[in-house]
């Protein structure tokens, strides 16, 4: 139930990111839109898991939106990297935007691994519960770090200063 409630905060953050992203149709917007769709799919997955936890025959229904959401996150991460490369450059490790984008990409990969571990066998048993939990935890930490990293860089800048790419 906690994950279900938390998934709505996750989706709210994705909505804010989509609204604040670049012009509609840009790589930034496409990345944010894909991520938003992925978070909605995770809402479906976590909501279904609350129900399916008690009904073993329904557990397989939880995995499809989870896996599809993870694929959406991977696509979103790839689009984010493409947008970064177009705007900041391929190799700018001192840039908070570059760091944030690549940390986000690691989180997307971790969520993908989590979905693989969360595959539900016909018996109703998860393929690799440790991988599912670790992937979700690492992915969530990466997403948090990716969101906070650019904020820290802005807080250190002096008012009126110009950031160099």
42-69 residue pLDDT tens: 888 888 777 666 665 555 556 667 789 8
Query: Span 137-143, mean pLDDT?
Result: 92
What is the C-alpha to C-alpha distance for residues 156 and 159, in angstroms, rounded to an integer?
Answer: 9
Taking the C-alpha atoms of residue 52 and residue 47, their distance in angstroms, rounded to an integer, is 9
- CA atoms within 13 A of residue 103's CA, in its CB half-sphere: 19
pLDDT at 18 over 50: yes
Q: How far apart are alpha carbons 36 and 59 in whole angstroms?
A: 24
Widest distance between CA atoms in the chain: 61
CA 152 – CA 96 distance, rounded (Å): 9
Read off the tokens for 30: 């496409």
Residue 107 banded pLDDT, cuts 50, 70, 90: very high
């Amino acid at each position: 139930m906690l994950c279900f409630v938390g998934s709505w905060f996750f989706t709210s953050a994705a909505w804010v990111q989509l609204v604040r992203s670049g012009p509609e149709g840009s790589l930034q917007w496409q990345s944010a839109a894909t991520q938003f769709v992925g978070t909605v799919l995770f809402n479906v997955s976590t909501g279904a898991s609350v129900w399916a936890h008690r009904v073993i025959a329904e557990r397989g229904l939880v995995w499809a939106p989870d896996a599809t959401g993870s694929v959406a996150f991977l696509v979103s991460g790839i689009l984010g990297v493409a947008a970064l490369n177009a705007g900041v450059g391929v190799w700018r490790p001192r840039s908070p935007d570059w760091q944030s984008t690549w940390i986000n990409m690691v989180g997307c990969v971790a969520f993908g691994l989590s979905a693989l571990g969360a595959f539900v066998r016909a018996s109703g048993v998860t393929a690799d519960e440790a991988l599912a939990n670790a992937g979700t935890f690492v992915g969530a930490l990466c997403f948090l770090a990716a969101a906070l990293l650019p904020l820290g860089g802005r807080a250190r800048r002096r008012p009126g200063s110009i950031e160099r790419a």
